[in-house]
Amino acid sequence: MALQAIHVQCTHCQHQFKEIPERSFLGFQKLDFPHCHEKVIYPLTSGFRTTYFIIAAVIALSIIVNLSQGQIGFPGLIGLAIIYALIRDWQIRKSINSI
């Protein structure tokens, strides 16, 4: 899945520019601002976000099923990574909207 150039404003020096982000760990978009070399993480693309929500829902469901059978369910490493990604994504989007 190729990333498209996005219009961004540097949170550091307020310069605006258009750049193609790199894909970082867990699918976040990573930008390296050309003028001040500030590294900024941008939210997930919608495809990644949707996929993570679906996986998180499946994991939540399997935990509920486990609990209903008297077993304790754990999300596992992948589940934890996805929950982390969704929380992080929400935080990044909130901080970008507040600029």
Q: Which residue's structure tokens are 């490493």?
A: 77
97 contacts 43 by C-beta, under 8 angstroms? no
* CB count in 10 Å sphere of residue 17: 14
36 vs 87 by CB, closer to Zn ion: 36
Give the footprint of Zn ion on this chain (CB under 5 A): 10, 12-13, 15, 33, 35-36
63 contacts 74 by C-beta, under 8 angstroms? yes
Minimum CB separation from Zn ion for residue 40, in Å?
9
Minimum CB separation from Zn ion for residue 15, in Å?
5
36 vs 78 by CB, closer to Zn ion: 36
CB environment 34-51: b (16+ within 10 A), e (fewer): eeeeeebbbbbbeebbee
8 vs 82 by CB, closer to Zn ion: 8
Minimum CB separation from Zn ion for residue 43, in Å?
19
Q: Which single residue brings its beta carbon nearest to Zn ion?
A: 10
Minimum CB separation from Zn ion for residue 30, in Å?
15
